[in-house]
Structure 1
């Protein structure tokens, strides 16, 4: 089969996932659909395993991983992190407690490698999953290769409904508190807009006329990705950590613009290639392995989620946040953007009785929720997955 036909099939599966996700307001995650449909096609032989490698997108996706992580490092304006430091700290507390519980209890119940296989994906997104899956493969832990992908696919089904329920309760308290209409706690719409990429762009070291070129932006990102890969080889520290550091430092030093890959109009294709890398990790995984991993996966999700909830409660008490607000901020680790934004939008629309109430709810919740997701999925989980996988 010609590579273009194979790519068409893979993108059709991704598009199906997007249709179901958008139709269900993200209650059915895109990646869950992609993983489930692809796995069924592979197991039935409708989509032969050799076809995925033949698509060549796996190689492209592998090259783009460090580039995409550099891009992720440019996505969080430091000014927003400073204004939302409470959300950052509460999220980090949740991540630490969740990982500590998984490493101790899962190791006790199963073994250490199983704990590592679940910790990265549960506390983050697609990059953390890829780092974990690649690390397990390189370390020879093929017997538990199904654990990270099943955790990655199913955690949304726990995290998103729990978040929606808790946020709805908190939104009712905002709605019923008349005095909150005139109060401001620095967590309003402007910070949320900045996170969504609508903030005014600071002056960069490279003249704007050059940064208007998609090719120059891609060149800069590939420099960062190549440098991170080289540093990983030289130091033994996982390239993903170097990529993240280069992206954050590059944005802070005004070398990279915010959301650099988006500005180069390349993020859509990059995400498709990245999802194909996830799909390729299903090659070689059997139905028997998935069934055998279910007990471990369910235990990981339950213990990991408990840790995130405990972290939210503790962080909420430290900063005097209601647990119905603090816990959802931490739970963004289980699904990230755009799920966090869509949940806030849905809650504000369903709880608010007037446009004014909807806006008040949206203004208070959107920034901490987005910052929580970026802190965990974009930064924390990559660090966690990279560090833990190096201990195997």
Structure 2
């Protein structure tokens, strides 16, 4: 297919998907809409099999995955993680619960490769899906590569309404404490100075300079991966470098935000996950419906059980703990949107809304980073090696 035509078609698909997502307040995710359009297009031969590769976005996405991971690392504040250490522990427990339940129970119903794919997808986001896909495709397992894509596409449909109900229950509990005068309201501090802190010289704060610096970090991560024979995965090392570089003020937080190439880079890595859909038959995809339902039921049950237990130990309410665990299904910005909606729906004046949001929002934001951004990437990098 003509590269310009392919590129333009993909931009149209993404524009439609993004429009539907915004209209439904993210209940129907961009990923789900795009997956359906690509599936229908490929299976009806409206789209040629080489649509993604012809657009050049596939090659770009595979090139810049490491760049995006370094960027994600620079989004993480160690100070905030320390303040919310209880939330972090509950989030880590949720991911552990997903893995434990799927390995111990899911293995009775699913092949080990599908179990690993499910763990990566249910506990994480796009990066975890890509990690699974790389290992699966390297072993010639196309269906295993497709499986986490389908999970990722439907995560929001399960996670958003479920978390919304639970957060509203938590918001009601907090409102009761606020009215009884037993709630300690803490003001959220903003750190504008930290946002601008960077040791990078002005010459490297341009689009090209920033991409050069991040590229060097990715190359160093790849070198360490090779040096350790894959024990320290490139993606994990890149994430750790990103966290460290922000913590020491070498680079600014959210390093790629604001540069000219960021939006296209993000879209390109998302395009990667649709690749296996082009070569999968309709029969194969239908056959994945059962495993998909099983994986969700067992994985979400594990998240709920482990997060509730850890939350009880640490003194969090059951509803808050479960909501933290469910952040594996969507991450940011869903964590922010759901927290704000819960506060507005339950609070009856500005003071109540602020008090409720002040209790829920910081926990949910940090929960998303501790589950989707950190723990899932590390865990998936380890277990993906066992796909064969």
Please report the TM-score for the alignment, with normalisation by the length of structure 1.
0.93
| 1:65 matched residue in structure 2 | 65
- Cα 1:284–1:200, aligned 2, differ >3 Å: closer, same or farther? same
| Equivalent residue number for residue 218 of structure 1 | 211
Counterpart in the other structure of 1:206: 200
**Contact kept in structure 2, 1:106 and 1:114, CA below 8 Å:** no
Match of 1:233 in 2: 226
CA contact (8 A) 1:144 1:293 kept: no
Task: Tell me the residue number matched to 1:17.
Answer: 17
Task: Report 1:364-375 matches (<5 A).
Answer: 364-375=359-370
Cα distance in 2 for residues equivalent to 1:381 and 1:178: 35
Any conservation in 1 of the 2:101–2:298 contact (CA below 8 Å)? yes
8 Å contact from structure 1 (residues 6, 51) kept in 2: yes
Q: Secondary structure at the residue paired with 2:336?
A: helix
| Alignment partner, residue 176 of structure 2 | 176
- From 225, 235, 241, the equivalent of 1:246 is 241
> Does the 8 Å CA contact 2:132/2:145 hold for their aligned counterparts?
no
Q: Distance in 2 between matches of 1:364 and 1:266?
A: 36
CA deviation vs aligned residue, 1:268-292 (integer Å, no higher than 9, x gap): 1111111211222322122111111
Q: Give the aligned CA root-mean-square deviation in angstroms.
A: 1.9
Q: Aligned partners of 1:101, 1:245: CA distance in 2, in Å?
A: 28
TM-score, normalised to structure 2, is 0.94
**How big is each residue's C-alpha offset from its partner over 1:68-87, in whole Å with a ceiling of 9 and x where there is no partner?**
11111111111111111111
Q: Superposed, which structure 2 residues align to 1:69-148 within 5 Å?
A: 69-148=69-148
**Match for residue 332 of structure 2?**
337
Aligned match of 2:269 in 267, 271, 274?
A: 274
Rounded to whole Å, the distance in 1 between the matches of 2:319 and 2:53 is 45
The offset of 1:302, in angstroms, is 0.6
Q: Check the 8 A contact 1:156/1:335 in 2, yes or no.
A: yes
Report what 2:254 is aligned to. Answer: 259
Distance 2:276 2:13 in 1: 16
Map 1:32-51 onto structure 2 (within 5 A): 32-51=32-51
Q: Distance in 1 between matches of 2:193 and 2:16?
A: 32
Q: Distance in 2 between matches of 1:279 and 1:170?
A: 37
CA contact (8 A) 2:120 2:129 kept: yes
Report the CA distance between 1:242 and its aligned residue: 1.6
Matched residue count: 385
- Range with greater deviation from structure 2 (225-234 or 22-31): 225-234
Asked if the contact 1:146/1:289 (under 8 Å) is kept, the reply is no
How do residues 262-341 of structure 1 correspond to structure 2 at under 5 angstroms? 262-341=257-336
SS at match of 1:64: helix
Residue in 2 that maps onto 1:386: 381
Structure 1: distance between partners of 2:229 and 2:279: 28
Paired position in structure 2 for 1:189: 188
Distance 1:169 1:223 in 2: 47
**Deviation (angstroms), 1:29:** 0.8
**1:351 corresponds to which residue?**
346
Gaps of 5+ in 1: none
**Does the C-alpha gap of structure 1 residues 244 and 340 become closer, same or farther in structure 2, counting only changes over 3 Å?**
same
Q: Gaps spanning 5+ residues in structure 2: where?
A: none
Structure 1: distance between partners of 2:366 and 2:272: 27
In 2, distance between residues paired with 1:88 and 1:264?
Answer: 30
CA distance in 1, matches of 2:375, 2:158: 20
Are the structure 2 counterparts of residues 56 and 319 from structure 1 closer, same or farther at C-alpha, using a change threshold of 3 Å?
same
Tell me, yes or no, if the aligned pair for 1:218 and 1:264 is still in contact at 8 Å. no
Higher mean C-alpha deviation, range 60-69 or range 288-297: 288-297
**Whole-angstrom CA distance in 2 between matches of 1:158 and 1:199:** 38
**2: distance between equivalents of 1:390 and 1:328?**
30
**1:265 CA displacement:** 4.2
Following superposition, the deviation at residue 54 of structure 1 comes to 0.6
